[in-house]
């Protein structure tokens, strides 16, 4: 198999929301184009607003973090199902629930779309694990910000966009003193950084509000930040 044409695209759940059908349509077009150009594509979608709403309600009701994670995962799978159905024949018609199930689906040669796998991690970790498993050397992370910043751009208006970073720099910026909880895993969580390092996977973080950024990233451009594994 030509692994250089295998890619993983992680799309923030914010963009695969039922209230943004035009963006979902835009992603469907970009993935179709890449598929026609011979790329093999795995897609991982996040939970977005639906996940956050259930997690917030469940936390107020005293549910454990593991149960909240499970509800988040259910939301990611609902988003994955929406996307799967829209892609019709191009996509494997099912949402794999584990890496084993993903590999079975991948063997069909179709685009495979999944959400979360298990509590204690984010869909970024899922996308890194899949990239490692299929031998993909590129993971495009279509997120809610323009790329990696030197500090949290939502809290610091003077935060600066970084065009290129190592995994170590990314770790220093993102991991720091954070406390991980359901619905609160950051841009890249520790597990995803560990996997991209050992799997030698390049990550391109792009602004996901414009699906064309994913196309540009696959075609060698750097519309946001490139994280180099070494």
The residue within the footprint of ligand UTP, chosen from 182, 206, 218, 227 (CB under 6 A), is 182
Exposure of 216 in the CB half-sphere (CA atoms within 13 A): 15
Query: Which residues are CB-contacts of 127 (< 8 A; sequence separation ≥ 6)?
Result: 8, 9, 10, 42, 44, 139, 141, 192
Only one of the segments 17-25, 45-53, 212-220, 221-229 lies at the binding site for ligand UTP (rule: CB under 6 A); that segment is 45-53
Only one of the segments 105-113, 160-168, 182-190, 212-220 lies at the binding site for ligand UTP (rule: CB under 6 A); that segment is 182-190
Binding to ligand UTP (CB under 6 A): which residues in 187-216? none
185 binds ligand UTP (CB under 6 A): yes
> How many chain residues interact with ligand UTP (CB under 6 A)?
24
For residue 163, with 0-12 CB atoms within 10 Å meaning exposed, 13-18 middle and 19 or more buried, which class applies? exposed
Residue whose Cβ sits closest to ligand UTP: 46
The residue within the footprint of ligand UTP, chosen from 121, 213, 225, 226 (CB under 6 A), is 121
Q: Which residues bind ligand UTP (CB under 6 A)?
A: 12-14, 46-48, 51, 69, 72-73, 76, 116-119, 121-123, 126, 143-144, 182-183, 185
């Amino acid at each position: 198999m030509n692994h250089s044409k295998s890619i993983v695209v992680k799309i923030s759940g914010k963009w695969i929301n039922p209230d943004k059908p035009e963006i979902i349509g835009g992603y469907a077009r970009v993935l179709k184009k890449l598929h026609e150009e011979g790329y093999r594509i795995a897609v991982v979608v996040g939970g977005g607003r639906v996940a956050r709403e259930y997690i917030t309600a469940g936390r107020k009701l005293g549910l454990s973090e593991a149960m909240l994670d499970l509800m988040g995962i259910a939301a990611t799978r609902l988003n994955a199902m929406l996307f799967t159905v829209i892609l019709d024949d191009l996509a494997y018609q099912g949402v794999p629930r584990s890496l084993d199930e993903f590999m079975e689906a991948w063997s069909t040669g179709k685009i495979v779309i999944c959400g979360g796998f298990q509590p204690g991690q984010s869909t970024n970790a899922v996308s890194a694990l899949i990239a490692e498993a299929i031998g993909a050397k590129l993971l495009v992370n279509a997120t809610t910000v323009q790329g990696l910043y030197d500090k949290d751009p939502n809290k610091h208006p003077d935060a600066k966009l970084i065009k290129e970073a190592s995994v170590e720099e990314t770790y220093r910026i993102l991991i720091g003193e954070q406390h991980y909880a359901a619905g609160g895993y950051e841009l890249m969580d520790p597990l995803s950084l560990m996997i991209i390092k050992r799997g030698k996977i390049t990550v391109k973080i792009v602004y996901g509000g414009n699906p064309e950024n994913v196309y540009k990233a696959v075609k060698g451009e750097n519309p946001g930040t490139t994280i180099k594994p070494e």
